[in-house]
Amino acid sequence: MNNLMQMFGAIKNPQQFLQQAMNNSQIMKNPMAKNALEMYQQGNIEGVKNLAENLCKEKHTTVDEVKSNILSQFGM
């Protein structure tokens, strides 16, 4: 539930969400998360997309599957 609320907050105010994430030491310790945030901050959406695709490959799934899973949780 908390994660969903955080997601809603991120969608509503991405800059604030980004700032909070950058201040979170746990997130910044993770090199992958740190890289993703930095790329997003720099506007490198292609890089973030590639990272997401690579992660999905490692988890033996696809971006579309993950997206449909999330949407199904909202009844869409």
Partner 1 sequence: MQPYPNPNYFMQYQQPQYQQPNPYMQRMEQLQQFQQTLQAPVQNQQMPTIGKIVESIDIVKVTDIPMDGNMYYFPKADGTEIYTKQFGMDGKTRILTFKPVLEDEPNNLPLEGKNYQICLSDEATEAFMKQFEELKERLDGIEKSMTKSMSKTTKSTAKKEVSEDE
**What are the residues binding partner 1 (CB under 8 A)?**
29-32, 34-35, 50-55, 57-59
Rounded CA-CA distance 43/10 in Å is: 16
> What's the min distance (Å) between Cβ of 39 and partner 1?
9
> What's the min distance (Å) between Cβ of 6 and partner 1?
17
Question: Measured from the CB atom, is 7 or 63 closer to partner 1?
Answer: 63
For tokens 């509503």, what's the residue?
12
Is 33 within 8 Å of 27 (Cβ atoms)? yes
DSSP 30: S
> What's the min distance (Å) between Cβ of 12 and partner 1?
26
